[in-house]
Structure 1
Amino acid sequence: MGEMSSFQLGVIGALFLSVASSVSIVICNKTLMSNMGFPFATTLTSWHLMVTFCTLHVAQRFNLFETKSIDMKTVMLFGILNGISIGFLNLSLGFNSIGFYQMTKLAIIPFTVLLETLFLKKQFSQKIKLSLFLLLVGVGIASVTDLQLNFVGTILSLLAIVTTCVGQILTNTIQKRFNVSSTQLLYQSAPFQAAILFVSGPLMDQFLTKQNVFAYKYSPIVLTFIILSCLISVSVNFSTFLVIGKTSPVTYQVVGHLKTCLVLGFGYTLLHDPFTGRNIVGILIAICGMGLYSYFCTQENKKKQLVDLSLVSQIKDKDSSPLLAGKNMGHQDKESHEAKKSNKDSVV
């Protein structure tokens, strides 16, 4: 009973940490960029990744996880691509409202499915396609009526979607090919992600904002929020692995819906992001589509597991049947031999 209660407390703690850190970092970054006049999203992301790598390095020194070597070219490609996608996501947050940013993140899943269908020839059921269509309808309603929709923000969101989709597909491929965990892959690739953004970040930020990150006057309150943002980013990465490890990826997706609702709610109440009735309807439709997608994926995974188990049991039965047959034949031969011997003895 004690072990069960401690396990439940661990799960609840992991879920609370994941929700609190994910909501906090969006609110913190949005406050830093919009309300405090610190628009250097790409440079901020490079600092996030540097702090994350240093934290993982300390964790590795304390043997909290084992490192695993991966092909250097693959790690560099993944690190650069993932760093660029994270940079575009943060830039999207800086140039768009929180509602549009959340819709950008929701749109990543259907576009990932589209890329897998076109280039990897994967097949998806009609139910999953219907749920993704519903999600896209909601994204469209919420995005088209967004009061802060702008050309630069829209382009950055589209680039964020494309790079993130490719990065997620590449992540799945690398993990299966090299048999590495998410933590091991993040530890190997974080330096490359931080390096590409640390070099390109100030130039990109200056091009988009017409301001120089090194000429910016850092007030104590801005420095406090930057440090807080970096610390929360470590908590976001850590809690992601913790939740998936203690529950399942599907549970993490469901928790993601709660994060979306909380982020939008805080953005509306604390940061006074403009919302209309159509925005709210579109967001609710998108979240409904996402919920149906998670449900249908869970059902299909269960069916697939049952089919796999039945196939394994059939293979085992086939493999064991000749042995059983051989044993039965041997047993029958032994009985026949004993019967003949008995008859021979009785005749004598």
Structure 2
Amino acid sequence: MGVYRDTIKIVLLCAIWFSFSSGTNVIGKQILTVFPYPTTLTMIQLMIINCFLGPTLALLGVEEAPYVTRRQFVRRIAPLGIGKIMGSVSAYISILKMPVSYSHTVKALMPLFVVLLSYVIMREKYPWKVYLSLVPIVGGVLLATVTELQFNALGLIAALFATMCFALQNIYSKKALKELHLHHLRLLLVICQVAGIVVFPIWMFTDAWELVSAPHNYFQHMWLFLMLPLNGLFNFGQNIAAFTVLSNVSPVSYSVATVTKRVVIIVTSLQVLHNPVTSYNVLGMAMAILGIAFYNKAKYDSNLKSKVLPTHIDDFTDNGSHDSRKQHIMINSSDVTNSNHRRIPMKII
């Protein structure tokens, strides 16, 4: 009876996660069609996460953030905050210029960026099965690209750049979690706090100026006042739901769930937004998604053989498959007091 109860619980959690993720993308596309300001949309999402995630962590009993040196903050936290801004804004530019379904198909290239960047940054090599799994991913994205009816060069570049930013964030968050001994939802909060500080002056010199000088009066669209915060709440809910699933299933099950989530987003966007697609376009999407499944399986098998389960933030960026239960590392008080570095409290950032 307990097995059935746990199964129903996971299925319901995944349904909530997929619904929030699909809603974030579909609502985001509808907003950007009338209100083409990706930086504003990103800033609102960050504001909502910063307002609600702290109390949520306290409610869940997540441990407080430890102290870090200024050197660690500059090397580990600040780049993640800047990368989140660059990746999020670029992702919304891609959705603004292209259909959601095609944008998410391009994001299927994340494993390719992870493999390449891991080698360049950390000289990390993978078994041949991992490299082989990249072939259907690249082939599927190429097929979807050449058959995309609403292709846009700027949208493609933005999607590729966003995918690269998320891949870098995966790599560096892995380093940050290992070095700083942080719960990964706590790290998400700190990253969002840094990103919120960084994005505000950017918003002032880009979207804010355009909104003031724009001839179109967006205040006539009263539904925007509802949809903008609703999009932010969906984004917040997707992060919490993803973490909850992550902490309740195995790495392989989470890999399957992330692939299923991407399929649900693509299908939902096609059904709701009625994007025109061809049979070859759908075939390319299917190839890319299947390639991700092969990649996740090959990567997990590789980690299992080496008896090391990698740790990184995932659905807060995009595609991950790791168990958060491996991430709870206690910090010794002597590690904080015996350092020669000046330390700053991360929790007041």
Q: What is the TM-score when the length of structure 2 is the normalising length?
A: 0.79
Deviation at 1:215, TM superposition (A): 5.8
- Name the residue aligned to 2:21: 22
- Name the residue aligned to 1:234: 236
Alignment equivalent of 1:94, drawn from 96, 112, 120: 96
CA contact (8 A) 1:43 1:202 kept: no
CA contact (8 A) 2:90 2:159 kept: yes
Alignment equivalent of 1:199, drawn from 198, 201, 204: 201
- The answer to whether structure 1 residue 48 and structure 2 residue 49 are counterparts is no
CA contact (8 A) 1:39 1:205 kept: no
- Deviation sequence 1:42-83 (CA, Å, 0-9, x none): 211111111111111212444631121344323223212222
Once the two structures are superposed, the pairs formed by residues 323-338 of structure 1 within 5 Å of their partners are none
- The answer to whether structure 1 residue 259 and structure 2 residue 258 are counterparts is no
Question: In the superposition, relative to structure 1, how do residues 197 and 112 fare at CA in structure 2: closer, same or farther (>3 Å)?
Answer: same
Question: In the superposition, relative to structure 1, how do residues 95 and 45 fare at CA in structure 2: closer, same or farther (>3 Å)?
Answer: same
- Deviation sequence 1:153-203 (CA, Å, 0-9, x none): 122123212222212111111111112121110121211112222321354
Alignment equivalent of 1:122, drawn from 124, 136, 141: 124
Question: In the superposition, relative to structure 1, how do residues 280 and 210 fare at CA in structure 2: closer, same or farther (>3 Å)?
Answer: farther
Quick check: 194-203 or 106-115, which moved more?
A: 194-203
Of the two, which has the highest radius of gyration?
Answer: 1
Alignment equivalent of 1:170, drawn from 169, 172, 181: 172
Quick check: 57-66 or 149-158, which moved more?
A: 57-66
Deviation at 1:284, TM superposition (A): 1.0
Q: Which amino acid aligns with 1:104?
A: V
Question: In the superposition, relative to structure 1, how do residues 63 and 134 fare at CA in structure 2: closer, same or farther (>3 Å)?
Answer: closer
- The answer to whether structure 1 residue 7 and structure 2 residue 6 are counterparts is yes
Q: More helix by proportion, 1 or 2?
A: 1
Deviation at 1:91, TM superposition (A): 1.6
CA contact (8 A) 1:106 1:286 kept: yes
Question: In the superposition, relative to structure 1, how do residues 63 and 244 fare at CA in structure 2: closer, same or farther (>3 Å)?
Answer: closer
Identity of aligned residues (%): 22
Question: In the superposition, relative to structure 1, how do residues 62 and 290 fare at CA in structure 2: closer, same or farther (>3 Å)?
Answer: closer
- Name the residue aligned to 2:83: 81
Deviation at 1:40, TM superposition (A): 1.2
Q: Distance in 1 between matches of 2:179 and 2:294?
A: 30
Q: Distance in 1 between matches of 2:272 and 2:15?
A: 21
Three-state SS of the structure 2 residue aligned to 1:275 is: coil
- Name the residue aligned to 1:66: 63
Deviation at 1:130, TM superposition (A): 0.9
Q: Distance in 1 between matches of 2:219 and 2:53?
A: 31
- Name the residue aligned to 1:161: 163
- Name the residue aligned to 1:136: 138
Quick check: 95-104 or 69-78, which moved more?
A: 69-78
- The answer to whether structure 1 residue 245 and structure 2 residue 247 are counterparts is yes
- Name the residue aligned to 1:57: 54
Q: Distance in 2 between matches of 1:125 and 1:298?
A: 11
Question: In the superposition, relative to structure 1, how do residues 283 and 85 fare at CA in structure 2: closer, same or farther (>3 Å)?
Answer: same
Q: Which amino acid aligns with 2:173?
A: T
- Name the residue aligned to 2:328: none
Question: In the superposition, relative to structure 1, how do residues 159 and 301 fare at CA in structure 2: closer, same or farther (>3 Å)?
Answer: closer
Q: Distance in 1 between matches of 2:215 and 2:298?
A: 46
Q: Distance in 2 between matches of 1:92 and 1:207?
A: 22
Quick check: 24-33 or 147-156, which moved more?
A: 147-156
Q: Which amino acid aligns with 1:72?
A: F
Q: Distance in 2 between matches of 1:156 and 1:191?
A: 24
Deviation at 1:138, TM superposition (A): 0.5
Q: Distance in 2 between matches of 1:202 and 1:149?
A: 30
Three-state SS of the structure 2 residue aligned to 1:200 is: helix
CA contact (8 A) 1:128 1:297 kept: yes
Deviation at 1:99, TM superposition (A): 2.4
Question: In the superposition, relative to structure 1, how do residues 279 and 189 fare at CA in structure 2: closer, same or farther (>3 Å)?
Answer: same
Question: In the superposition, relative to structure 1, how do residues 60 and 242 fare at CA in structure 2: closer, same or farther (>3 Å)?
Answer: closer
Three-state SS of the structure 2 residue aligned to 1:246 is: coil
Question: In the superposition, relative to structure 1, how do residues 229 and 211 fare at CA in structure 2: closer, same or farther (>3 Å)?
Answer: farther
- Name the residue aligned to 1:329: none
CA contact (8 A) 2:140 2:285 kept: yes
Three-state SS of the structure 1 residue aligned to 2:40 is: helix
- Deviation sequence 1:116-148 (CA, Å, 0-9, x none): 123311111111111112111101110222122
Q: Which amino acid aligns with 1:56?
A: L
Q: Distance in 2 between matches of 1:293 and 1:143?
A: 21
Q: Distance in 2 between matches of 1:195 and 1:96?
A: 29
Q: Distance in 1 between matches of 2:81 and 2:102?
A: 26
CA contact (8 A) 2:251 2:300 kept: no
Q: Distance in 2 between matches of 1:116 and 1:50?
A: 31
Quick check: 281-290 or 94-103, which moved more?
A: 94-103
